[in-house]
Amino acid sequence: MYHGIAHTLNVLHVCNQYIRREKVASDEAKLLRLAALFHDIGFTVSHQNHEQNSTELAISLMTQYGFSAAQISTVKGLILATRIPQTPKKFLEKLLCDADLDYLGRDDYYEISNKLYQELKTLKLISNKEEWKQQQISFLKAHTYHTKFARKHRQPEKENRIKELEA
């Protein structure tokens, strides 16, 4: 399964790298980490509209723990920015979006994308490997990284994935 604890922890790990690299203030870093942990928890409710489900779960827990309305709003915006196609507007949203799809430009792309393929096949959202391959080519071509780091260090490998899939 792609949308599970391994993906969530990977996104958190990449967010932590961005926090250090970009020197994100501690208050904002806390909210970015919370959003990373919550961004796909909505899959426990349904694969449809999972980002909205994720925000509802995050709001509920954050309210219980005394987070301010502004903090809750920030986390909600961060989570919703990860919807495909990603449309982050704010700096932290760009960090989370790039962390969420960091694997597209890494060496472990095939291992991770195979998990997503298996998940989508189980959900009957995709029929076969050829359909998956064409979907991946289209997705990779349409996807945009939002941070300078990802454009420099992930985009070239993502371009290699496109060439490999097309070959």
Higher pLDDT, 48 or 103: 103
Task: Give per-residue burial for 73-107: e unless 16+ CB within 10 Å, then b.
Answer: ebbbbbbbbbeeebebeeebbbbbbbbbbbbbbbe
* Total number of domains in the chain: 1
pLDDT tens digits, 65-122: 999 999 999 999 999 999 999 999 999 999 999 999 999 999 999 999 999 999 999 9
Q: Is the model's pLDDT at 1 over the cut of 90? A: no
CATH code (residue 63): 1.10.3210.10
From residue 21, give the alpha-carbon distance in Å to each of 17, 29, 65, 161, 162. Answer: 6, 12, 29, 26, 28
SS3 154: coil
Phi and psi torsions of 3, nearest 5°: -80, 80
Q: What is the mean pLDDT of the chain?
A: 96
The set of residues, in sequence order, having a beta carbon less than 8 Å from that of 67 and lying 6+ positions away, is 75
Its pTM stands at 0.95
Q: Tell me the residue range of the domain where 156 lies.
A: 5-166
